[in-house]
Amino acid sequence: MEDDKGFKPDDSGLAPYSITDMDDDKILAGLIRDYPDALSDRKRLQALLLDLFPQDKRKRNLLMIVFDDGIVDEMRGLAQIDKMALHRFVRSVEMGYDIRTRSAEAAVMAWAKAMGLSMEGKDVPENVMRALAHAQESSPAQKKEWVPCESDSLYEYEETSRGLRILKYVDFDEPVVVIPNVIEGKKVIAVGNYAFKGCVGIEKVIVSEGIEILGNGAFLNCRGLKEVSLPTSLRGIGSTDATGCPKILGSEIKYEGAFEYSGLESVTVPESVKYIGENSFAGCGQLRRAALPDKLKEIRENTFRWCKSLREVVFPRELDTVRISAFEGCDVLQTVDLPEGVTSIEEGAFAGCKGLESIYIPDSVVEIGGGKGTGFLKTFGEPDERHENFTIRCHLGSYAMQYARAQQIRCVQG
């Protein structure tokens, strides 16, 4: 029996596969009913498809492609399938195996119907479905291909030497908003300061590939915003300082964070980002997890201040400095493991973290409590504000051990 895995059905030039004139879903439903183990055994499934469709290599290959792409396995855990998921499955087959859209959709639908999945949800705007699918075509570590993504939403914008900067979102709040990378045929390079400030009805934002910068306060007070998809083209979130502010953002510098006081529940910052400005996620009371890019050198002042639900932080591998009050008031943060290479933890960095039980401080740290703050905040807060079992994990003879002794903080071998 030949292995058809590498065959591309649309290479033959024949008409695309369609389920409109055949009962493939009913045949597949019978296969699933009579041979449920086949969905866990590729060779078994391939043999059964050969028996069921002996004269149609094209069909067998398409159905196997959906299986090999992991879609069938994902469907097995669903009771219903919405149009966003369906579109994502179709795009995965279409783009990953060079299959025509019509053929990919027919194969995916055949499996979905065979497994008894009902459709749910309202129609989703095409630009949203396209952006959702594109956001999932590559892993976060891969550079994604830039594809034009326009939008029917209304924006005020201005032209810069490098491209358009969105100044303001002037449409009604929608549950899902796709920020386009093209407006009237011109490339969008940045989302400017306060562009979406106060848009409390937006629940999810998809930032299209090609956009490089998010300005200060871009999503300030977007309290309904629970999820954001950031592109691999993104280089910076917020401004640097009054002299180093990227010109693309304009001249206004107030250091209000890009997502400050938003409703974000989780955020993964792409590896392409080299700078995250002050206050970027401050006051995000629902934020539970934050994953930062490996090459980020600093966690800036107040970046996660008062993120009272923050439980997990994935720290950058190349992190050098944790700035003033970076994690102040993160009540439920329990354990912190700073990466090797960190040299400085500034004052108030973990003040008010009442749930913090332990922190690992590597030998590379040579300064704790520095910085240009008021000097009133201790790095780990006042003794009566700390967890009763707060412990510094470190190595014998390290600077961290000396600091722990001087501050009368319990320390153990890290």
pTM of the shown model? 0.66
Q: What is the pLDDT of residues 56-114, one digit of tens each?
A: 888 888 898 888 888 888 888 777 887 777 887 887 777 666 677 888 888 888 898 88
DSSP collapsed to 3 states, 18-39: CCCCCCHHHHHHHHHHHCHHHH
pLDDT above 70 for 49:
yes
Give the range with max mean pLDDT: 131-145, 228-242, 337-351.
337-351
Q: Please report where in the chains the tokens 């629902």 appear, as a residue.
A: 286
| Average predicted confidence (pLDDT) for the chain | 84
What per-residue confidence (pLDDT) applies to 61? 85
Q: What is the pLDDT of residues 206-253, one digit of tens each?
A: 999 999 999 999 999 999 999 999 999 999 998 654 333 444 444 444
Lowest mean pLDDT among 76-80, 404-408, 410-414: 76-80
Residues 6 or more apart whose Cβ sits within 8 Å of residue 198: 220, 221, 222
| Token pair for 135 | 């956001």
- Helix, strand, or coil (residue 106): helix
Question: Distance between CA atoms of 61 and 69, rounded to whole angstroms?
Answer: 12
Q: What confidence category does residue 125 fall into, taking pLDDT thresholds of 50, 70 and 90?
A: low
What per-residue confidence (pLDDT) applies to 286? 97
| Token pair for 247 | 């010109």
The full DSSP string for 384-407 is GGS-TT-EEEE-TT-HHHHHHHHH
Q: What confidence category does residue 3 fall into, taking pLDDT thresholds of 50, 70 and 90?
A: very low
What per-residue confidence (pLDDT) applies to 141? 46
